[in-house]
Amino acid sequence: MTSLTARPPVLVRSYAWLDAHARQVALAAVALSLLLAGGYALVLGDTLRYLDERVYVQLAGSLASGAGYSADGVQATAYRPPGYPFLLTPVHGLTGGDVLAMRFVGVLALAGCVWFGYRVGRRVFAAPAGALAAVVLACYPLLTYTATALYPQVPGLFLLLVTIDCGMSAVETRGGRRVADVVIAGLAGGLLVLTVPNFALSVVLVPVWMAWKRRGAWGAAAAVLALAVAVPGAWCVRNALALHAFVPVSTNDGINLLLGNSEHTTAGSGTEVDISRYEQHAKDHHLDEVGINRYFSDSAVDWITEHPGDAAVLYGEKLANTFSFSSDMATSGQGGRTADLVLALTYYPVLLLAVLRVGLARRWPLSRTETLLAVLVVLNFLLQAVFFTRLRFRVPLDGLTVLLAASVVVRFARGSRGA
């Protein structure tokens, strides 16, 4: 085992100080996050920059007014996953639809990400890893930018970290504390599925991890899974009553699959894909929302099966595009070269450190928590490329990548081979 004193003195002192003050550093990072993201939210004010933001505000407004989940206040819909509008609705109702107030849902979610990043990070290796991860999350430009937009990704990251942390805690605790951890992990996981449906499999993996970590945790793991299933299950019942069809979460998975798999799709085309002939077919046949979703999904599958070679190449290109640093969120004219440079200089070092952590698994065996994080990152990269990739879709995965990066940095600072 490498001796701690063999390390440069500055690393020895830095690790010792961070170990002694990890909680205080994490709390300071939470405050810094509130300052940075809150300040940027004030700069943005009531301006809605993206179409998706306007849609989420409309859905929250419909819920707040008692009109149900509807984009126009009349026709029931399930086109957008409902989790994020659910989070916005109380703020919309209390403030009369004030956009700035709703921005602070993301700001507070980011602060929660910083704190729970610290909690998960200390489980990954040691308290200094959690503290370092908290500081990076608080200062990470893409997280701040996305948190202040009315988008579900940062609340999604918060729910994911809560699910992981409380799932971990439920394995270690007993009695009332375990019950509370199980309930919070299950409900957070269920709400995550309704917020960012791509993470449904990740929510399932958390209780699997719980059972793997400790044999006696089977009951807790099963309870977490049951609660996580119950939340979207209730939404399925609503959809069956309102839309007269089985809709697990939303009716936009078909168009997302078609946008990512059709004759005009490219690796970075995102939503800018010509699917007009499919839209015309749906219009000509008077398909309803559920029928359009099914038709688009079937059309995408047909294109993949008829062009397996092209589909395989396209999938690889989309997977590579996942690691792009372009700041184009959804609307042309946002960001720019300076923003791209900032994103590149902050993301790629974190990514390389996370890859290094996995690459050093023989020297420093991955803990079970690190294994879970690495599996979640890789799995979700693979799943996202099935549809189409966009920078903001990667945001929750950046949070997990930061945790792996912090782990390897702290291990070097500590100079230990132990897990």
pLDDT digit string (tens) for 367-402?
999 999 999 999 999 999 999 888 889 999 999 999
Q: d(Cα 71, Cα 54) in Å, to the nearest integer? A: 10
Q: What are phi and psi of 76, to 5 degrees?
A: -65, 145
Q: Is the pLDDT of residue 217 over 90?
A: no
Q: What is the pLDDT of residues 1-49, one digit of tens each?
A: 344 445 677 777 888 888 899 999 999 999 999 999 999 999 999 999 9
pLDDT(299) > 90: yes
Q: What mean pLDDT do residues 275-291 have?
A: 96
Q: Which tokens sit at 93? A: 């109702």
- Identify the burial level of 345 via C-beta atoms within 10 angstroms of its C-beta, where 0-12 means exposed, 13-18 middle and 19 or more buried: exposed
Mean pLDDT of 88-106: 97
Q: For residues 41 and 144, what is the distance between their CA atoms, to the nearest angstrom?
A: 9
Residue 334: per-residue pLDDT: 53
Across the range 67-83, mean pLDDT stands at 95
Reply yes or no on whether the pLDDT at 171 is more than 80.
yes
Q: How far is CA 221 from the centre of its chain?
A: 22
What per-residue confidence (pLDDT) applies to 1? 39
pLDDT band at 214 (very low <50, low <70, confident <90, very high): confident
Confidence of residue 419 (pLDDT cuts 50, 70, 90): very low
Half-sphere exposure of 208 (CA within 13 A, CB side): 9
Q: What is the pTM of this model?
A: 0.93
Residue with tokens 């729970």: 116
pLDDT in the model for residue 36: 98
**What is the Cα–Cα distance from 66 to 186, expressed in whole angstroms?**
27
Region 274-300: mean pLDDT is 96
Q: Which whole number is the average pLDDT over 236-243?
A: 97
Rg (CA), the chain: 22
Compute the distance between CA of residue 268 and CA of residue 259 in angstroms, rounded to an integer: 11
Give pLDDT tens digits for 314-351.
999 999 999 987 645 444 445 567 888 888 899 999 99
pLDDT of residue 417: 43
* Tokens describing residue 335: 């960001």
191: its two tokens: 């709400």
Q: What percent of the chain has pLDDT over 70?
A: 95
- Is the pLDDT score of 235 beyond 70? yes
* pLDDT number for residue 326: 66
Q: Where are the beta strands (DSSP E) in 22-133?
A: none
Average pLDDT, rounded, for the chain: 92
Q: Where residue 230 falls among pLDDT bands split at 50, 70, 90?
A: very high
Amino acid sitting at position 316: G
Q: Residue 161: its pLDDT value, please?
A: 98
Residues 6+ apart with CB under 8 A from 74: 67
pLDDT at residue number 8: 73
pLDDT at 416: 52
- Over residues 243-249, mean pLDDT: 95
The residue among 324, 395, 357 whose CA lies nearest residue 121 is: 357
Give the integer Cα–Cα distance in Å for 36 and 353: 25
